[in-house]
Amino acid sequence: MSVRVGEAASAPTFAVAAKSLMGNEQLRRNVRNATQVIRGKRASVVGEMPDWQQLRDTAHAIKDHTLRHLDSYLIQFEENCTRAGGKVHWARDADEANAIAIGIIRAQNETEVIKVKTMTTDEIGMNRALEAVGITPYETDLADLIVQLGDDKPSHIVVPALHRNKMEIRELFMRKMGLAELGTRPEDIAEAARLYLREKFLRVPVAISGANFAVAETGSICVVESEGNGRMCVSLPRVLISVVGIEKVIPKFADLEVFLQLLPRSATGERMNPYNSIWTGVTPGDGPQEFHVILLDNGRTKVLADSVSRETLDCIRCGACLNACPVYRQTGGHAYGSIYAGPIGAILTPQLQSMEHSQTLPYASSLCGACYEVCPVKINIPEILIHLRNKIVENGDGPSGERLGMKMAAWAMSDAASLSTARGLGRIAQMPFTNNGSIHHLPGMMSAWTATRDIPSIPAESFRQWWARRKRERPV
Amino acid sequence: MSANGLANGHMSARNVSARDGVLAKVRQSLRDVTANSSAAREADYAAIPRDYIQQGDSSRETILSLLSSRLQDYDATVYPCLRHEIAHTVAVAMKARGKTSLLHPDQLPEEWLPAGYAFSRVNGLPYSEIDRGEGVITGCVAAIALTGTIILHHGSVDGRRALTLIPDYHLCIVFADQVVETVPEGFERLAGMATLPLTTVSGPSATADIEMSRVKGVHGPRFLDVILVA
Q: What is the pLDDT of residues A33-49, one digit of tens each?
A: 889 999 999 999 999 99
Q: Kindly determine whether residue B166 and residue A69, on different chains, have CB atoms separated by under 8 Å.
A: no
- Report whether pLDDT(A200) > 80: yes
Q: Are B138 and B108 in contact (CB under 8 A)?
A: yes
Nearest residue in chain A measured CA to CA from B41: A69
Q: Are B71 and B226 in contact (CB under 8 A)?
A: yes
Q: Kindly determine whether residue B30 and residue A304, on different chains, have CB atoms separated by under 8 Å.
A: yes
Determine the distance in angstroms separating the CA of B113 from the nearest CA of chain A, rounded to an integer. Answer: 25
Q: Kindly determine whether residue A251 and residue B45, on different chains, have CB atoms separated by under 8 Å.
A: yes
pLDDT tens string A373-420:
999 999 999 999 999 999 998 887 665 555 555 555 554 555 444 445
| pLDDT the model gives residue A456 | 65
> Which residues in chain A touch residue B10, judged by CB atoms under 8 angstroms apart?
87
| pLDDT the model gives residue A402 | 57
Q: What integer best gives the mean pLDDT of chain B? A: 91
| pLDDT the model gives residue A417 | 46
DSSP B177: G
| pLDDT the model gives residue A416 | 46
Q: Kindly determine whether residue A280 and residue B196, on different chains, have CB atoms separated by under 8 Å.
A: yes
CA distances from B120 to A141, A192, B104, B125, B224 (A): 32, 30, 6, 10, 19
Region(s) of chain B under CATH 3.40.50.10420: 60-229
- CA B142, A59, A371, A224: dihedral to nearest 10 degrees? -40
Neighbour-count burial of B131, counting CB atoms closer than 10 A to its CB (0-12 exposed, 13-18 middle, 19+ buried): middle
How many beta carbons lie within 10 A of that of residue A475, not counting itself?
6
| pLDDT the model gives residue B9 | 44
Nearest residue in chain A measured CA to CA from B20: A90
| pLDDT the model gives residue A389 | 95
| pLDDT the model gives residue A238 | 97
Establish if A106 touches chain B: CB-CB under 8 angstroms: no
> Which residues in chain B touch residue A74, judged by CB atoms under 8 angstroms apart?
22-23, 26
| pLDDT the model gives residue A25 | 86
- Please check whether the domain covering B60-229 is classified as CATH 3.40.50.10420: yes
Nearest residue in chain B measured CA to CA from A160: B209
Q: Helices A342-352 and A381-394 sit at what angle, rounded to 10 degrees? A: 40
CA distances from A56 to A50, A376, B176 (A): 12, 5, 31
More confident residue, A425 or A370: A370
pLDDT band at residue B2 using 50, 70 and 90 as cut-offs: very low
Out of B146, B162, B211, name the one closest to residue A186 (CB). Answer: B211
| pLDDT the model gives residue A451 | 56
| pLDDT the model gives residue A454 | 60
| pLDDT the model gives residue A348 | 97
Q: Kindly determine whether residue A228 and residue B2, on different chains, have CB atoms separated by under 8 Å.
A: no
Where are the extended beta strands (E) located within A320-430? none
pLDDT tens string A158-195:
888 888 889 999 999 999 999 999 999 999 999 999 99
| pLDDT the model gives residue A47 | 98
> Which residues in chain B touch residue A223, judged by CB atoms under 8 angstroms apart?
none
Q: Kindly determine whether residue B161 and residue A286, on different chains, have CB atoms separated by under 8 Å.
A: yes
- Residue type at A451? A
Out of A218, A235, A275, name the one closest to residue B162 (CB). Answer: A235
Q: Kindly determine whether residue B22 and residue A246, on different chains, have CB atoms separated by under 8 Å.
A: yes
Query: Which is nearest to A118 in space by CA: A265, A250, A225, A232?
Result: A225
| A 238-277 residues with CB < 8 A to B | 246, 251-254, 256-258, 260-261, 268, 270-277
pLDDT tens string B71-88:
999 889 999 999 999 999
Q: Model-level pTM?
A: 0.88
CA distances from A40 to A36, A163, A227 (A): 6, 18, 21
| pLDDT the model gives residue B204 | 82
The two beta strands, A434-435 and A438-439, are antiparallel
Q: Kindly determine whether residue B49 and residue A271, on different chains, have CB atoms separated by under 8 Å.
A: no
ipTM for this prediction: 0.93
> Which residues in chain B touch residue A302, judged by CB atoms under 8 angstroms apart?
29
Give the domain A24-296 fold.
Answer: Rossmann fold (3.40.50)
Residues 6+ apart with CB under 8 A from B132: none
Q: Kindly determine whether residue A100 and residue B218, on different chains, have CB atoms separated by under 8 Å.
A: no
CA distances from B60 to B63, B145, B189 (A): 5, 10, 17
Kindly report the backbone phi and psi dihedral angles of residue A296, in degrees, each rounded to the nearest multiple of 5, phi listed first: -110, 130
What is the residue-wise DSSP string for B111-156? GGSPTTSEEEE-TT--HHHHHHSS-EEE--SEEETTTTEEEE--ST
What number is the average pLDDT over the span B93-102? 98
Half-sphere exposure of A441 (CA within 13 A, CB side): 3
What number is the average pLDDT over the span A298-318? 97
pLDDT tens string A52-111:
999 999 999 999 999 999 999 999 999 999 999 999 999 999 999 999 999 999 999 999
> Which residues in chain B touch residue A147, judged by CB atoms under 8 angstroms apart?
none
- Report whether pLDDT(B6) > 50: no
The two beta strands, B215-216 and B206-207, are antiparallel
pLDDT band at residue B212 using 50, 70 and 90 as cut-offs: confident
Determine the distance in angstroms separating the CA of B193 from the nearest CA of chain A, rounded to an integer. Answer: 10
- CA A145, A148, A151, A156: dihedral to nearest 10 degrees? 80
How many beta carbons lie within 10 A of that of residue A254, not counting itself?
17
| pLDDT the model gives residue A235 | 96
Q: For residue B118, how far is the Cα from the chain centroid?
A: 26
Q: What percent of chain B has pLDDT over 70?
A: 93
CA distances from A96 to A126, A195, A244, B154 (A): 11, 35, 13, 35
| pLDDT the model gives residue B5 | 38
The two beta strands, A86-91 and B149-152, are unpaired
DSSP A395: T
Nearest residue in chain B measured CA to CA from A54: B52
Q: Kindly determine whether residue B187 and residue A253, on different chains, have CB atoms separated by under 8 Å.
A: yes
pLDDT band at residue A466 using 50, 70 and 90 as cut-offs: confident
pLDDT tens string B21-71:
999 999 999 999 887 789 999 999 999 999 999 999 999 999 999 999 999
Establish if A426 touches chain B: CB-CB under 8 angstroms: no
Q: Kindly determine whether residue B217 and residue A193, on different chains, have CB atoms separated by under 8 Å.
A: no
What number is the average pLDDT over the span A298-312? 97
Q: Kindly determine whether residue A58 and residue B52, on different chains, have CB atoms separated by under 8 Å.
A: yes
Q: Locate the domains of chain A by residue range.
A: 24-296
> Which residues in chain A touch residue B220, judged by CB atoms under 8 angstroms apart?
227-228, 231-232, 274-275
| pLDDT the model gives residue B123 | 75
Out of A58, A236, A272, name the one closest to residue B148 (CB). Answer: A272
Q: Kindly determine whether residue A54 and residue B52, on different chains, have CB atoms separated by under 8 Å.
A: yes
Query: Which is nearest to A340 in space by CA: A329, A328, A330, A326?
Result: A328
pLDDT band at residue A20 using 50, 70 and 90 as cut-offs: confident
For A142-172, give one letter per residue: b (16+ CB within 10 A) or e. bbbbbbbbbebbbbbbbbbbbbbbbebbbeb
Query: Which is nearest to B164 in space by CA: B86, B95, B93, B220?
Result: B220
Q: Kindly determine whether residue B22 and residue A301, on different chains, have CB atoms separated by under 8 Å.
A: yes
Q: What integer best gives the mean pLDDT of chain A? A: 89
CA distances from A396 to A90, A350, A366 (A): 35, 16, 22
- Report whether pLDDT(A273) > 90: yes
